[in-house]
Amino acid sequence: MTTQILLYVLATLLILIGLAGTILPALPGVPVVFAGMLIAAWAGDFVHIGWPTLTILGLLTALALLVDLLAGLLGAKRVGASGWALFGAALGTIVGLFFGIIGLILGPFVGAVLGELIAGSNLRRSAAVGFGAWLGFVFGTLAKIALCFTMLGVFALAYLI
């Protein structure tokens, strides 16, 4: 019985940390939420939360990861970015992770601007592409948060039914 309580406490902590991680760059938010839900299902012997629900939660996690990876790229592409700008936005996102929240916010922008400048665009055009990449990042973060709360709703509904 004590082990079960500890597992539920661990699951709750992971879910809360994961929710914070949907915004904070140092934490892989949605996978941590999924891990917490998996531990909660395991602690309950998969009675309330079974494999069909965990499959849905896993698919939502994969979708959130895909959205997170592609958001900045799609934002830059939407404003007609060059291949160099798309590469720069992706690289800027990765490099930005090492510089905390400021790096994560500015990384896609700076990367896309530099990539577009390398492609031969002027500064004004490059800034527009960088802004598109930044908007993609913002919308990606919002989508990730929405998917995370969708996961919580699926989890809660499955637990209550």
Please report the pLDDT score of residue 145 as a whole number.
92
- Rounded to whole angstroms, the Cα distance separating 87 from 19 reads 29
Q: At what angle do helices 83-96 and 100-118 cross, to 10 degrees?
A: 160
Please report the pLDDT score of residue 129 as a whole number.
85
8 Å CB contact between 38 and 48? no
Q: Which domain holds residue 14?
A: 2-160
- Rounded to whole angstroms, the Cα distance separating 41 from 29 reads 19
- Rounded to whole angstroms, the Cα distance separating 32 from 16 reads 9
8 Å CB contact between 116 and 131? no
Please report the pLDDT score of residue 30 as a whole number.
93
Those residues of the chain that have pLDDT short of 70 are 1, 24-27, 72-73
Please report the pLDDT score of residue 1 as a whole number.
62
Among candidates 99, 82, 98, 96, which has minimal Cα distance to 137?
A: 96
**Number of structural domains the chain divides into:** 1
Please report the pLDDT score of residue 58 as a whole number.
96
Residue with tokens 């895909």: 66
Q: At what angle do helices 83-96 and 51-78 cross, to 10 degrees?
A: 130
Q: Please tell me the pTM assigned to this model.
A: 0.74
Q: Tell me the pLDDT tens digit for each residue of 57-88.
A: 999 999 998 887 787 667 777 788 888 888 88
